[in-house]
Structure 1
Amino acid sequence: MLFCPSCANVLIIGDADGKNKWICQTCPYQFPITKQHTSRTLLNSKKVDDMRDVSSELSSGARTAYECAKCGHGFSYFSQLQIRSADEPMTTFYKCVSCGNVRRED
């Protein structure tokens, strides 16, 4: 990536007068391209982060007195995750002990 020495904007490749040139889009600066240049860059594949399985934690996690909205049972398993940014509160997942209904509270 090249920048214009006059106004510091990014130069683009243009085909003026049948010859390739670096051209500034904001000022009249042009720089002729006299040599062919090629380069090759090997990109490393992005490493996939491990995913956390909350469903197994909900089945065997801590129990709390939380009434199920579906069946009215008084106890649920719960697990907490930091889904949003660090300055936001954690998200709590509740799974009913009786019917297995899952509810999320932010």
Structure 2
Amino acid sequence: MEFCPTCGNLLQYELPHMGRPARFFCPSCPYVCHLESKVKIKRRQRLVKKEIEPVFNKDDMKIGGSETDATCPSCGHGRALFSQVQIRSADEPATTFYQCMKCERMWRED
């Protein structure tokens, strides 16, 4: 949407006609803005991915984690460290984070 810089009304679009380019015009004052037939891209912005910070890192699991019987989905080892955190609302169950004691792969169960 474009607005008239003179009176602030919403500009209306008019199609090109008989050699005249397309334009925006104000219905209440004489303001007219002619449009170019080609659009120019002035700059391109590269999006940068943010680094994801883990809830637990490997050192946290070794210090505060407890051992349990859990099968690693990667290597099939039967023992893992685990820790539980309430990351959703209070009426939802806690999320359990596991770390395999053999390959040190981390996974979670909601």
Q: TM-score, normalised by structure 1?
A: 0.48
Give the TM-score normalised by the residue count of structure 2: 0.47
